Structure 1
């Protein structure tokens, strides 16, 4: 090793933020910059299937809501097809299957409207239960966290899901299940994400 390189130190790591939500979702943060903001409309007006609302909070190790989180959403359509050349088929016009949402600065609540996805082909692992993939980043998080949200009214499919069954501790599997209620005729799924502590959400290394 050249002598000059022996004195170089590792570059310090940096957490995301504090303005990551503004940079990646300026419209949601109150900044009217783009004519059409990337990631605002997940499924478009032509998507088939049940329209649903997903809502929740991101909660830290002390039980307090984290109020500057950005979440990215990936999902299949109601037929279990992703908007991707290798997604297994064609999707409806306007269906992206991807979006961004930020938490409310006052309450820490986040929410988005979409359609309930169908079961998806899992490649080498088999058919997977309906689910939504979530990636979140915030101030204090060095690396974005990946998790999944499954649906409480899909018990039979969840019981056979290969990814859920990879989680060794069965008691932790419920941290990935969203609870269904109905509000004004709309199906609403509640999914709180806990970063640390009791009932910490399962995160995946992907």
Structure 2
């Protein structure tokens, strides 16, 4: 019979934590870092020719508190399809799945320009826990050196004004200037919608407000 050692009253120091870098790309996006080691690389293209919905591009930059570009951040997104359903067994909505839409993507910021980019579709509205519809949105997670845990936020769309006004998450953010940090701006490029979503890890000297992050 194994005998357990008696409980020790000694107070041990907390184990040191690590941030997500500077080698985060080698482990999570190795091809971008120059290591072609996976048969199937996770990437920034979530769609195929068969995917239903409006094709959009999402792009932006990540800034630190000094206003400098974070050129080695890793960005992940998770979203519903054009009908507003996630490709996950936990989504019990009676909406159709789209087998040609992955719904999840990962990319690093470009080491030279600091720009990240995703090719995806605009998601449909998803029901909240109380049955009310949330505005179309995309879940965003950021990893980078100096960040001990992934930073979770959301991207909403500037052309969904009415839906945004009624979204329960946006409504829970008291100040309008803070809510605005979650709204991606729409433009057109070569006939395709482009939504620009810059992330600020802190308030920046140019007046940019820190992006709202969620405790998840």
What 5-or-longer segments of structure 1 have no aligned partner? none
SS of the aligned residue for 1:106 comes to: coil
Residue 59 (1) aligns with residue 52 (2): no
Counting matched residue pairs gives 206
More moved, 44-53 vs 73-82: 44-53
Q: Which residue of 1 aligns with 2:126?
A: 120
Report the counterpart of residue 210 of structure 2 in structure 1. Answer: 200
User: Aligned in 2, Cα 1:90/1:153: closer, same or farther, shift over 3 Å?
Assistant: same
TM-score, normalised with respect to structure 2: 0.89
1:15-50 per-position Cα deviation (integer Å, ceiling 9, x unaligned)? 121111221011233321122113454233321111
**Partners of 2:17 and 2:34 in 1: CA distance:** 29
1:144 aligns to what? 150
Q: Report the TM-score when normalising by structure 1.
A: 0.93
**Which deviations, in whole Å up to 9, do the C-alpha atoms of 1:138-178 show, x marking residues without a partner?**
00001110000000000010000000001112221000000
Matched, 1:37 2:47: no
Q: Which secondary structure does the structure 2 equivalent of 1:124 belong to?
A: coil
* CA distance in 2: counterparts of 1:103 and 1:170, whole angstroms: 28
Q: Which runs of 5+ in 2 are unaligned?
A: 1-5
The answer (yes or no) to whether the contact 1:83–1:90 under 8 Å persists in 2 is: no
Instruction: Tell me how large the CA RMSD over aligned residues is.
Output: 1.8
Work out which of the two has the higher radius of gyration on C-alpha atoms and give 1 or 2: 2
Q: 1:174 corresponds to which residue?
A: 180
Q: 1:67: Cα distance to partner?
A: 0.8
By percentage of residues, which structure has more helix?
1
Give the Cα–Cα distance (whole angstroms) in 2 for the partners of residues 181 and 93 of structure 1: 29
Q: Which residue of 2 aligns with 1:108?
A: 114
